[in-house]
Chain A
Amino acid sequence: MENLAYVFFSAALINNFVLAYFVGLCPFFGVSNRVSTAIRMGGAVVFVMTLTSLAVSFLNAYVLPAAPYLRLISYIVVIASLVQIVEITIKKVSPTLFRQLGVFLPLITTNCAILYLALFQHARGYDFLEGLFFALGAGAGFTLALFLMASLRERAELADVPSAARSMGLAMIIAASLSMAFMGFAGLFSS
């Protein structure tokens, strides 16, 4: 139980996917204009990550022992088809959310954060339950990073930013500052 909590918080705060590993930067910069959209995007990522983790556990247990050379390909194919299903479902259930997420929902598929999750889960030898908590933690950390980023960018929208640093330039600076703030969590609970 303690181990599961560590896996969760490690993925969420200490080794935050976006702010410590710098993966998944594409949606991090792309969908962090509005807090409401950012939270929905975070929810979508949590969902996809959980599905990915389940799929990876299944593949690791039943398919890949027989064919280890298929690891990358099978991860990508399975994750891509899963996200496709999610996309079709969202399009049907909530067209508004579908339009807000726009190109970024299909992009979650090719998002390196998802592949990182799959590869890490394998490399660290997480079992089914640990993998699940890892995925939830990584998703929560991603959502937290996206939410902080969006709320800071919303505030900075009102600021008199020099023209050289408008929008994306300032977003990069904010992301770097956030990343430095997250450095304080390094090594937490590791002893």
Chain B
Amino acid sequence: MSRGGGGPGPAGREADLRIAPSPHIRSPDSTPRIMWTVVATLVPVVAAAVWFFGVAALLVTGAATFGAVATEWAFDGRDAVSDGSGVITGVLLGLTLPAGIPLWMAALGGAFGMGFGKLIFGGLGQNVFNPALLGRAFLQASFPTAITTWPAVEAGRATFYQSNLALPFLQAPEMDAATAATPLGLMKFEGETTELWRLLLGNTGGSLGETAGLVILICGGYLALRNYLDWRIPVSIFATVAALSGVLHLIDPAAYPGPLFMIFSGGLILGAVYMATDMVTSPVTAAGAWLFGIGIGVITVLVRLWGGLPEGIMYAILFMNALVPFLDRVTLPAPFGAGAGGAAGGGSG
């Protein structure tokens, strides 16, 4: 744009006046940029999974991503794929699966989550449930055995499992590796707790992405610093789980595990950092985000301690996803100047 004529006349000033509709401040953070940054922060998490579970981790994550991206490409075309959100769905789904799961199941879960969790609502930004978790809930309902068979972490880097290659519907997936119970399963069914350092470093049985808590926290912290995720959601989830389980632990230390175990075991960290903070399926208001996180924390503790399943974070997030439109409505901030007194603060939910 030319800076007007030469001299300091009125004409020069007029050219400096640009009239345009808002927004006037442009942010470099476009949707693809945010999404691909999230994908980049998932790379260390996947790498940790490969370190613990061998190359099978990469295959499972790849299959889930393939399922999600292929479905998105088939129905919404290439532009929809290029924003990177489908890759996030696939990788996150892969991280919630055990290493020994047949690859076709992982791909089917990705396709289901993408198709029925996102595309049927009209694509990015319009879905109401987290697509990756919906895919996992579908797999959990359809193949309850395959999705809860956890290989032990002692396997070498190059392992993959015979069961990875099972054919669809023809072969029952036979586990050929040593299996290991997850820390939550041990706690629930055998009353045994796992040492904290093993939980932190990820040297336990479990899904691909639920073992390396420390790596996920670091990656999530980076995203929170960049403001790519709402820090209120993971903070309120952790605080709620810690408070509830802390009180219960004080009441009866033998029956209820301590707060640190509750936070660092299972998929809580992965769910709280990467799944609950999905921009589309979490509340937009700050008060809504707090309530959302508290609800997830309460339901997770409820299901873990008194439910039939060892882990509840997935169902907690899906349930609270369904409440998001309600939370957004009740925490709607009052417009500036609205209300007679003006001093009454609006958005306390």
Chain A interface residues toward B at CB < 8 A: 147-148, 151-152, 154-156, 158-162, 165, 169-170, 173-174, 176-178, 180-191
Q: Is B307 an interface residue (CB 8 A)?
A: yes
State which of B122, B123, B303 has its C-beta within 8 Å of the C-beta of A185: B303
Residue B222 at the chain A interface, CB threshold 8 Å: no
- Chain B residues proximal to chain A, CB less than 8 Å: 75, 116-117, 119-123, 126-129, 134, 137-138, 140-141, 299, 302-303, 306-309, 312, 314-316, 318-319, 321-326, 329
Can you offer 14 A-B residue contacts whose CB atoms are under 8 A?
A: A156-B121, A156-B126, A159-B121, A159-B122, A160-B126, A161-B120, A181-B129, A183-B315, A184-B303, A184-B307, A184-B312, A184-B314, A187-B308, A191-B306
* A162 in contact with B122 (CB, 8 Å): yes
The 4 closest A-B pairs by CB, nearest first: A187-B308, A184-B315, A160-B122, A181-B318
Q: For the complex, what is the distance from the CA of A160 to the CA of B319, rounded to whole Å?
A: 23
Residues of chain B contacted by A151 (CB below 8 angstroms)? 322-323, 325-326, 329
Q: How far is the CB of A16 from chain B (nearest CB, A)?
A: 11
Q: Are B307 and A162 touching (Cβ within 8 A)?
A: no
**A188 touching B325 by the CB < 8 A rule?**
no
Cβ-closest chain A residue relative to B303: A184
* A190 CB contacts on chain B under 8 angstroms: 308
Q: Is the CB of B141 within 8 A of A180?
A: yes
Task: Please measure, in the bound complex, the distance between the C-alpha atom of A147 and the C-alpha atom of B325, giving whole angstroms.
Answer: 11
Q: Which residue of B lies closest to A184 (CB)?
A: B315
Residue A160 contacts which of B123, B140, B316, B322 (CB distance < 8 angstroms)?
B123
Q: Decide: A177 and B326 in contact? CB cutoff 8 A.
A: no
Main secondary structure of the interface of A (DSSP, over half): helix
Q: Judging by beta carbons under 8 Å apart, are B318 and A177 in contact?
A: yes
A79 to chain B, nearest CB (A): 30
Closest chain A residue to B306 by CB distance?
A189
Cα distance, A41 to B326, chains bound together (Å): 18
Choose from B121, B319, B324, B325 the contact partner of A182 (Cβ within 8 Å).
B319
Q: Provided the pairs A184-B307, A187-B309 are in contact, do residues A152 and B120 lie with their beta carbons within 8 angstroms? A: no
Assess the B323–A188 pair: CB atoms within 8 A.
Answer: no
Q: Flag if A184 contacts B123 (CB, 8 Å).
A: no
A186 to B309, CA, bound (A): 8
What A residues does B323 contact at CB under 8 A? Answer: 148, 151
Cα separation A178 to B137 with both chains bound (whole Å): 11
Name B121's closest neighbour in chain A (CB-CB): A159
16 further contact pairs, Cβ within 8 A, besides A156-B121, A174-B128: A147-B326, A151-B325, A152-B325, A154-B325, A155-B128, A158-B126, A159-B121, A160-B126, A162-B120, A170-B120, A177-B129, A177-B322, A178-B322, A181-B318, A184-B315, A187-B309
Nearest chain B CB to A184's CB is how many angstroms away?
2
Residues of chain A within 8 A of B120, CB atoms compared: 161-162, 165, 169-170, 173
Kindly provide the distance from the CB of B127 to the nearest chain A CB, expressed in whole angstroms. Answer: 8
Cα separation A170 to B319 with both chains bound (whole Å): 18
Option from A174, A176, A186 in Cβ contact (under 8 Å) with B308: A186
CB neighbours of B137 from chain A (8 A): 177, 180-181, 183
CB distance from A173 to the nearest CB of B (A): 6
Question: Which residues of the other chain, A, contact B322 by a CB distance below 8 angstroms?
Answer: 148, 151-152, 177-178, 181
For B134, give the chain A residue with the smallest CB separation.
A177
Interfacial chain B residues near A158, Cβ < 8 Å = 126
B308 touches A159 (CB 8 A): no
A177-B117, A188-B308 known; A183+B325 contact, CB < 8 A: no
Q: Which of B134, B306, B324, B329 contacts A188 (CB 8 A)?
A: B306
